[in-house]
Amino acid sequence: MAKQYWLMKSEPDAYAWDQLVHDGTGMWDGVRNHTAKLNMMAMKVGDEAFFYHSNIGKECVGIMRVTEESFPDPTAEPGSPWVVVRVAPVRALTHPVTLAAIKADPKLADMDLIRQSRLSVGRVTPDEWKHILKKSEKAEG
């Protein structure tokens, strides 16, 4: 199966990119939306995701790799349907790509981030992935 791409949101005052880098690996927990949960259940080891700072900053700041597929969320009530995945940082983006830059780009208009703005874990197509990486090469991407 081909590698899949994702965008995963975290509030930087709760869990920031720098904390993931410091930790070396992280468990993506606390997701309580069924669509986001299904996206996490579809993730495979080796898939990559943009780390997106939500609420404060509103920008893609780094790339993570899925290192462990979904398993029950230990922060949830026993028997609940919620899951986590384990991720590790790959690298910071050269320049963050802001939500404003993404919204202004017609090539990214169909992203889950735009169409389902409250979704905390969304799919990214290979073309969207490449386009955001290209935007990250220059400031104000």
Range of the domain at 75: 5-137
pTM of the model: 0.95
CA 106 to the chain's CA centroid: 21
Evaluate if residue 139 carries a pLDDT over 90: no
Q: What is the pLDDT of residues 101-132, one digit of tens each?
A: 999 999 999 999 999 999 999 999 999 999 99
Place of tokens 């830059």: 101
> What is the DSSP-derived secondary structure letter of residue 77?
P
Amino acid at 112: D
pLDDT band at 140 (very low <50, low <70, confident <90, very high): confident
CATH of the domain at 82: 3.10.590.10
Q: What is the pLDDT of residues 69-80, one digit of tens each?
A: 999 999 999 999
CB 130 within 8 A of CB 7: no
Q: How many domains does the chain contain in total?
A: 1
